[in-house]
Amino acid sequence: MFDFLNPEAASPTPEQIARSLRWLGWIGFWLQALLGFVPIFVVVTMVLFNPVQRQIGFSLGLGLAIACLIILCFSIYWCFRYTQLANQLEIRDLRPAKSQVLHDLKLGLLANVSTMTIAVLIALSRIGELTFKMLILPQGATVIAPTQPGTLITQGAQITPSNMIAIQAMINAIAAGLVGVIVALLLLYQVGQHRNSPN
């Protein structure tokens, strides 16, 4: 299907491209949907069910996270759109031009690169913040959880399970974007190998 090492490989037919679009489109759709579930769930619960966040309002980080997830949802849909494009390629009368197929694939690639870029920026910011919290603790210090009355602890000095869930959500968003990038690049390669023929 993908012969990267042979520059003289035969030009794929529209039917072969349609099979690849369908196969890779479904793989990309399901992998991105599974990987995207965690970040979507985390952001939705943060926005809807976190009273502290509602009092503070929207921060830049939350705004970027929402933008990242909107683009991720679009790229999940776009992988599904590849399967619809495969249906059009199989019917000669509905077959779109090669330039249109390339445009659709490049749009999918751009959406996934945007998802990865925003998620990496959020991850760098969040992990940097957590690293700073760890570095300001005195060396060899013991973190005391405020379980008894009168116990004092610096607010925000702890790394909580919600921090780890947020990091997992960012890694999932990056992985979902990577899946979309790989799918789009494989399809762009195959469509690029197609040489137009009079048939």
DSSP 141-192: --PPP--STT----TT-SPPHHHHHHHHHHHHHHHHHHHHHHHHHHHHHHHH
pLDDT of 82? 94
pLDDT of 179? 96
Closest CA to 79 of 125, 119, 112, 102: 112
Per the CB < 8 A criterion, the answer to whether 112 and 61 are in contact is no
pLDDT of 198? 45
pLDDT tens digits for range 27-51: 999 999 999 999 888 888 877 776 6
pLDDT of 199? 42
What is the residue extent of each domain of the chain?
14-135+160-193
Residue numbers in the chain where pLDDT is lower than 50: 55, 151-152, 198-199
pLDDT of 52? 59
The alpha carbon of residue 145 and the mean position of all alpha carbons in its chain are separated, in whole angstroms, by 35
Task: Say whether pTM exceeds 0.85.
Answer: no
Rounded Cα gap, residues 183 and 81, in angstroms: 13
Taking the alpha carbons at both ends of the chain, their separation in whole angstroms is 21
- With a CB cutoff of 8 Å and minimum separation 6, the contacts of 174 are 115, 116, 119, 120, 123
Q: Which residue has the tokens 């921090």?
A: 163
Rounded Cα gap, residues 74 and 76, in angstroms: 5
Q: Which residue has the tokens 């494989």?
A: 186
Handedness of CA 155, 157, 161, 162 (dihedral sign): positive
Coil, helix or strand at residue 8: coil
The two three-digit tokens of residue 4, written as one number = 């990267």
DSSP state of 197: -
pLDDT of 33? 95
